[in-house]
Structure 1
Amino acid sequence: MSLPGWAAGKTGEFIPASPRAATAPAPARDAASAPRDIAHDRWQTTTFRWFAAYAAIFSISFMALLGVIEFSVTHAMERETDSGLRWQLRYFDSRSDNAVAGAIAVRLKRDDRGQNSYGLFDGAGHWLAGDIQALPEGLALDSYGRTYEHKSGQSLVVAIGDMQPTLRVMGEVRANGSVLVVARRLSDVRRVHDELMKAIFGGGLLCLAASLCAGLVLSMRQIRRVAEIRRVTARIASGDLDQRLPVAGRDELDMLSHLVNRMLDEVERLMGEVKSACDGIAHDLRTPLTRLRLRLSTAADAMERRGEPGVAQVLVGARDEADSVLGRFAALLRISEIGAMQRRSGFASLSLPDLVHELCDLYAPLAEEKSLTLITSIAAPPPIHADRALLFEAFSNLLDNAIKFAPEGGRVEVALRGSTVAAQAGAPAGPQFVVADNGPGIAPDERSAVLGRYYRSERTRHLPGTGLGLGIVSAIVRLHDFNLSIGAAHEGTHTGTAVTIDCWPHHT
C-alpha cells in the first residue's frame, strides 16, 4: 500500500527539520493557478500540435498546387512561343535562300517591341544577317523543311549586341547549307513565372501563419476548458465528490465529461450506501454492546462480593473486550463523521500556539505519571484558517500515541514552528506541528499502513489500542488539505517516531 501524497514518510532528527522536504512531494500550486500553468505549455498541447501539423500539410499542399499551376502555365506559354517560332520558320522556308536576308531585315523593322530576333549564318558559322550575331551554343539544328510538327524550342543565352539575354530559340540548316536561327524573348513567361513564385511562397507562408494563429487561438480555448476540468478533478481527488466536470457543448471533451459525471454520480451513490450501512451497523451495535458491558461489570462486582475472584476476573476481561469494541465503533463513527463534513464549514482563524499550549497542559500530568520528559518548543507563527476542535483532536491523538508508546522514563517532544523549506522554494507555506518520541518506532514499510483502519505495528501489538487513532488524524488532515508525514525520530535508525503536520493547503 503506497503512502498518499498528503502522508509521505521521512527519516529525520528527533524533531525533523522538514520531513516533507526529502521524501514527500512538493506542494502543488493552488488549483486556481492551473490555467496559468497550462497556458505556459500551450505549445505542447495536442490541439496545437494537430493544428500545426495540419497547417504545415495544408501550406505544403497549397505551395505544391501553385507549383503545379506555375509549371503548367509557364510550359503552356513556352509551347505557345514554340508554335510562333515554328510558323516563322515556315515563313522563311517559303522564301528562296537569296531572299532570306532581306526578309529578316523587313521583320526586324516591323517588330516594334523587339520581341523577336533572327540570325543567318553561313555553313562555317559566320554571321550574314539579323540581330543575332553568333550561333547560340548548344542549339540543336534541324534539316531544312522538318520544323513543322514536333520541333521544340530551347531556352539559351543569345548574343544580341552588348546583351546576352535568355531567349526561346529554334534553328535549321537550309538547303544551301546556311543556318537560320529564330528566337523570341521570354519576358511574358518570366513575368508570369515570377508572379506565380511570389504567390507560391507568399501564399504558403500566409496560409501557414494564419493556420498557426488559428490553431493557437483554438488551442487556448481548449486549454481553458482543460484547466477548468483540471481544477474540478483536483477538488474531486481531494474528497469533494459533489463536484462535476463542466460541460460546454458536444465535442469529445464534453462526451468524456458526461461519462465521468455519470461515473461520479454512481460512485457517490454507492459510497453513500456503504457509508450508511456501516454507520447503521456501528450505531445499532453500540447500544447492545453498552448494555452487555454494564451487565458484565455488574456480574463481575457480584462475583467479587460472593468471593469468586476467578470468575470476577474473567468477567472483567470480557468487559474490557467490550470496551475495546465500543472504542472501535466510536472511532469508526468519528472518522465517518469527519469525512461527511462540508469542507471548511467550521473553519475560522486559529492561533496554533494557544492550541498547542492547551494541549501540552492537558497531557503533562499523563506524561508525568509515566515519568516521561515532555519537551516543548512553541514558536509564534501567524494564524491559520482551520477547524480548532478537529485540529485539537488530531494533535491530541498524536501526543497520546507518543506518550503511550514512549518507554518508561523516556521523552516526548512537541514542536510548533514555521516552515522555511517550502517558503524558500517559492511555494505557499505555514506552521509545522511535530510530535516525536523515543519509543519502538514505525518501520518504513509500515508507515503508510498505520494510517489506515485497524492496522497496528508488529512492535506495538502488545499495547492496548484500536488501531484507528491515526486514521482519525488522517481524515482530519485530508479535510484541511494539510500534509502528514511519518519518520524516525533518529536519522539512520528505526527507533522513535516523528510525525509532522504541515499546516497549509496542499492541493493536488
Structure 2
Amino acid sequence: MSSPNSSRSGSFISLGRGWHTTTFRWLTVYAVVFTISIMSLLAFVEQSVTRAMENEADSGVRWQLRYFDSITDADLASAIDKRVQHEQHRSNYYGLFAADGRRLAGDIVTLPSRLSITQTGESRNDAIGQTVSLAHNPSMPTVRALAERRASGVQLVIGRSVADIIDIKDELIKALVWGGLSCAAASLVTGLLLSIRQIKRVQAIQRVTTQIAQGDIKQRLPINGGDELTLLSHLVNYMLDEVERLMTEVKTACDGIAHDLRTPLAHVRTLLTNIADRASVIGDNQVQDLAKEASLEADSLLGRFRALLRMSEIGALKRREGFRSLSLPTLIFELCELYEPLAEEMSIRLRWNAESMEPIYGDRDLLFEAFSNLLDNSIKFTPAGGDVSVELTSSTLGPRLVVLDNGPGIAENEREAVLQRFYRAEKTRHVPGSGLGLGIVSAVMRMHDFGLNICSANPGAVFVVECWPHSLQ
C-alpha cells in the first residue's frame, strides 16, 4: 500500500524531547565544564585560605616557643601554669611532659602521638606545625602544634586552636557543594528552557514546510531572532521566491500553450467532421474512415488539454477557499447513480454502499470530480462481466472510501507513478486515455489533505481514500 501523504506528514519534534536538542547538549557540556571550573576555583580558594591560616598559627606557636626559651627549666612549669590561668579565649594550649611522657604542667593532658619533636637550639624559622587532636582534653579541640625537647629532657608542647580554620573550611566546602549543585541545576534548567524555545521555532518551521510540501508554495518560513535558524530561514525563503517565480513562468507558458492549441484543435476537429460528412455524400468510405480516425485523435488531444487546464485550475485555487460542509453519503449516491448506466452498457456490475455519517468539510465539486475519475477509471479498465464496488464506511479517524474492481490492477512499483501526469501503466497502455485522471485525483487529495492509497485486489485494483487530515497544520 502506498500513500502520497505519507512522505508529506513527517514526524514532528515533541516538546518532551527537549533534552535531545543540540542546544541542550551544548549547554549541558558548558554547564558541566562551568560547574567543574567553579568547584575547582572554590577548592583552590579553600586550600589557599587554609594554608594561610595554618601558616599564621604556626608563626604564633614559633613565637611562643622563643618566649619560653628565655625561661629556665626549673621555672618552666610555673610559667606554663600562669599562662594557662591567664588564657581567656582558650585559643592557645600548653603542655609540659617529663622524658617518660608524664604530665608536669599545662592544660594538654597527654602528649599527642605522632607529633614531631625538635631539639632545643634547632632553627625554628622553617618549622611547620602539625594539626593534632587533643583527644583527652574536655573540649577535645583540634590544634596546630609544635613540640621541643629541652636540655633537661622535658618536652614542651604548644598548640594554637584551629577551630576558626575548620569553621571556614566547612563553610567553603558547603559553598563548594551547594554552589556547584546550584550552578549545574541553573545551567540545566536554562538549557532546557532555551531548548524548548528552539523546538517551538523548529516546529513552526516544520508546519510551514509541510504546507509548502502540500503545494502551498506561497508560504514562507517564520523570521525571528538573529541566530543560525534565522539565517537559514532567509536563505530558504529566498530559494522559495525563486522557485515560485520559475514555477509561475513555466505554468504560465504551459497554460498558454494548452489554451492556444485547444482552439486550433477544435477547428481541426470541426474540419475533419465536415470532411467525413462530405466523404459520406460522395461515397468515399476510405476518406470517411480516415477523417473519423483523425477526429478521434483530435478528441483525445482536446481531452488532454482540458485535463491539463483543469489541473492548473485546481492548483491555482486558494487552499480551502471553496470548502463547505458536505454529506459524503449523498455525494456517493449521486456519483453511483450517474455511472450506473455506463456500467450496465459495458456489462459491468456496479454495487455501492454508503453508511450514514457526520458531514465533512471540503470542496464538493472537486471531491465529486476526483471520485468520478476513480470510478470512471475502475469501470474503464474492468472487463465485461466484471464487478466494481464502491463502499463508504466510517472509521475512528473519519470516513473511508474504497473503490474496488477486478481489472488488470496496478503493479506495486507503478502505484506512485500513476498519480503523476501522463503516466500510463504497462497493463493498460492499450486502453484509450490521457493519463491525467489519477493526477487530478492526487491534486484534489493534496488540497484536502486526504490520504490516497492504492493496493491490489488480486486481481484488480483497490483505491482507498481516507477522508481526514494526514498532517499537522
Task: Determine if the TM-score, normalized by the shorter chain, exceeds 0.5.
Answer: yes
The aligned runs of 1:36-51 (5 Å cut-off) are: 38-51=14-27
C-alpha displacement at 1:363, in angstroms?
Answer: 0.7
Q: Name the SS for the 2:247 alignment partner.
A: helix
Q: Of 426, 431, 434, which residue of structure 2 is paired with 1:458?
A: 426
Between the aligned partners of 1:409 and 1:27, the Cα distance in structure 2 is 40
C-alpha displacement at 1:296, in angstroms?
Answer: 2.4
Q: Name the SS for the 2:14 alignment partner.
A: helix
Which residue type is aligned with residue 202 of structure 1? W
Q: Of 394, 403, 408, which residue of structure 2 is paired with 1:435?
A: 403
TM-score by length of structure 1 reads 0.88
C-alpha displacement at 1:385, in angstroms?
Answer: 0.8
Q: Of 245, 256, 274, which residue of structure 1 is paired with 2:232?
A: 256
Aligned residues: 472
Residue 276 of structure 2: aligned partner: 300
C-alpha displacement at 1:27, in angstroms?
Answer: 7.1
Q: Of 68, 76, 85, which residue of structure 2 is paired with 1:92?
A: 68
Residue 210 of structure 1: aligned partner: 186
Task: Give the 3 Å change call, closer, same or farther, for CA 57–120 of structure 1 in structure 2.
Answer: same
Q: Name the SS for the 2:319 alignment partner.
A: coil
Which residue type is aligned with residue 71 of structure 1? Q
Q: Name the SS for the 1:244 alignment partner.
A: coil
Instruction: Report if aligned partners of 1:377, 1:414 keep a CA contact under 8 Å in 2.
Output: yes
The aligned runs of 1:293-332 (5 Å cut-off) are: 293-332=269-308
Q: Name the SS for the 2:392 alignment partner.
A: strand
Instruction: Report if aligned partners of 2:3, 2:451 keep a CA contact under 8 Å in 1.
Output: no
Between the aligned partners of 2:328 and 2:126, the Cα distance in structure 1 is 101
C-alpha displacement at 1:387, in angstroms?
Answer: 0.8
Instruction: Report if aligned partners of 2:2, 2:455 keep a CA contact under 8 Å in 1.
Output: no
Between the aligned partners of 2:16 and 2:215, the Cα distance in structure 1 is 28
Q: Name the SS for the 2:464 alignment partner.
A: strand
Which residue type is aligned with residue 323 of structure 1? D
Residue 446 of structure 1: aligned partner: 414
C-alpha displacement at 1:313, in angstroms?
Answer: 2.3
Instruction: Report if aligned partners of 1:90, 1:147 keep a CA contact under 8 Å in 2.
Output: no
Superposed CA deviations along residues 53-79 of structure 1, whole A, max 9, x for unmatched, are 333332222222111111111111011
Q: Name the SS for the 1:176 alignment partner.
A: coil
C-alpha displacement at 1:26, in angstroms?
Answer: 11
Q: Of 72, 83, 96, which residue of structure 2 is paired with 1:107?
A: 83
C-alpha displacement at 1:162, in angstroms?
Answer: 4.2
Instruction: Report if aligned partners of 1:353, 1:416 keep a CA contact under 8 Å in 2.
Output: yes
Instruction: Report if aligned partners of 2:4, 2:416 keep a CA contact under 8 Å in 1.
Output: no
Instruction: Report if aligned partners of 1:377, 1:415 keep a CA contact under 8 Å in 2.
Output: yes
Superposed CA deviations along residues 282-340 of structure 1, whole A, max 9, x for unmatched, are 11111122222222232233334333323332332222222222211111111111011
Moved more, 122-131 or 443-452: 122-131
Q: Does 1:83 align with 2:51?
A: no
C-alpha displacement at 1:25, in angstroms?
Answer: 8.1
Q: Name the SS for the 1:464 alignment partner.
A: coil
Q: Does 1:64 align with 2:32?
A: no
Identity fraction in percent: 54
Task: Give the 3 Å change call, closer, same or farther, for CA 26–259 of structure 1 in structure 2.
Answer: closer
Instruction: Report if aligned partners of 1:238, 1:507 keep a CA contact under 8 Å in 2.
Output: no
C-alpha displacement at 1:28, in angstroms?
Answer: 7.4
Instruction: Report if aligned partners of 2:348, 2:388 keep a CA contact under 8 Å in 1.
Output: yes
The aligned runs of 1:386-465 (5 Å cut-off) are: 386-419=362-395, 423=396, 429-465=397-433
Residue 158 of structure 2: aligned partner: 182
C-alpha displacement at 1:487, in angstroms?
Answer: 0.9
Between the aligned partners of 1:74 and 1:401, the Cα distance in structure 2 is 91
Higher relative contact order (CA 8 A, sep 6+): 1
Superposed CA deviations along residues 358-409 of structure 1, whole A, max 9, x for unmatched, are 1111111111011111111111111111111111111111111111111111
Between the aligned partners of 2:205 and 2:131, the Cα distance in structure 1 is 65
The aligned runs of 1:217-366 (5 Å cut-off) are: 217-366=193-342
Residue 468 of structure 2: aligned partner: 504
C-alpha displacement at 1:179, in angstroms?
Answer: 1.7
Task: List runs of 5+ in structure 2 lacking aligned partners.
Answer: none
Structural RMSD (CA): 2.1
Instruction: Report if aligned partners of 1:131, 1:160 keep a CA contact under 8 Å in 2.
Output: no
Which residue type is aligned with residue 464 of structure 2? T
Superposed CA deviations along residues 403-434 of structure 1, whole A, max 9, x for unmatched, are 11111111100111112xxx2xxxxx221111
Between the aligned partners of 1:446 and 1:217, the Cα distance in structure 2 is 47
C-alpha displacement at 1:4, in angstroms?
Answer: 5.3
Q: Does 1:473 align with 2:437?
A: no
Instruction: Report if aligned partners of 2:23, 2:195 keep a CA contact under 8 Å in 1.
Output: yes
Which residue type is aligned with residue 434 of structure 1? V
Which residue type is aligned with residue 372 of structure 1? I
Between the aligned partners of 1:129 and 1:497, the Cα distance in structure 2 is 112
